[in-house]
Amino acid sequence: MRRLLLALPFAMLPLAVAHAADEHDHEHGSLSAHEHGVGRLNAALDGKTLELELESPAMNLVGFEHVATSEADKAKVAAVRARLEQPLALFNLPKPAGCVVENQDLESPLFGGQPEADDDHNEDAKDKDGHEHHHDHSEINARYQFTCATPDALKTLDLTNIFTSFPATQKIQVQLIGPSGQQGVDVTAKAAALKF
């Protein structure tokens, strides 16, 4: 499963370099910087295998980035996890393609069993009085592998349900490899579909 997605960053490197030249990332100087409102999706279609990897700041999906302690926060995390566990509906894959989920993996500090936040994304800032403030940045990563009986029926990838399910997501940076080649595109709720 990971073979194709592991190759994706290398295949998309020319697009990433071009994208980096166009956009200045003030936070960490990389394309994978934690930016609220922005998610990332790697998509690869190879024969009958479709692999999707969604990465998003937890803020976009649950509305916070701390470990849930209140019942209300725990319910939000559970609802988001349940939604992410329904990839056929979330990605609105066309029924004629006959795609079935072969594998899925959800990871986040909010789901338990991991440190509260990734140390690479923690920021310590001092206010004007010199007091330190610690900001945690938690991510949610979802990886899916599908087998599609009729991959030719996958003409588009529609991300509308991601935007409607998670309205704090304003943009998804997509890197896609499909039968017509590779592309990198920013997708928004107003233009949520792209062609394979």
Q: Quick one: which of 99, 78, 91, 71 has its CA closest to 161?
A: 91
Say what the pLDDT of residue 19 is. 41
Give 40-83 as a DSSP string: EEEEEEETTEEEEEEEEEHHHHHS--SPP-SHHHHHHHHHHHHH
Residue-level pLDDT, tens digit, the chain, 196 residues: 455 554 544 444 444 434 443 443 333 333 455 789 999 999 999 999 999 999 999 999 999 989 999 999 999 999 999 999 999 989 989 999 999 999 999 999 999 854 433 334 333 334 344 443 344 679 999 999 999 999 999 988 899 999 999 999 999 999 999 988 899 999 999 999 988 8
Structure tokens at 54: 């969604």
pLDDT for the residue 35:
86
Please tell me the predicted confidence (pLDDT) of residue 113: 55
| Dist. CA 147–CA 100, nearest whole Å | 5
Provide the 10 A C-beta neighbour count for residue 86.
13
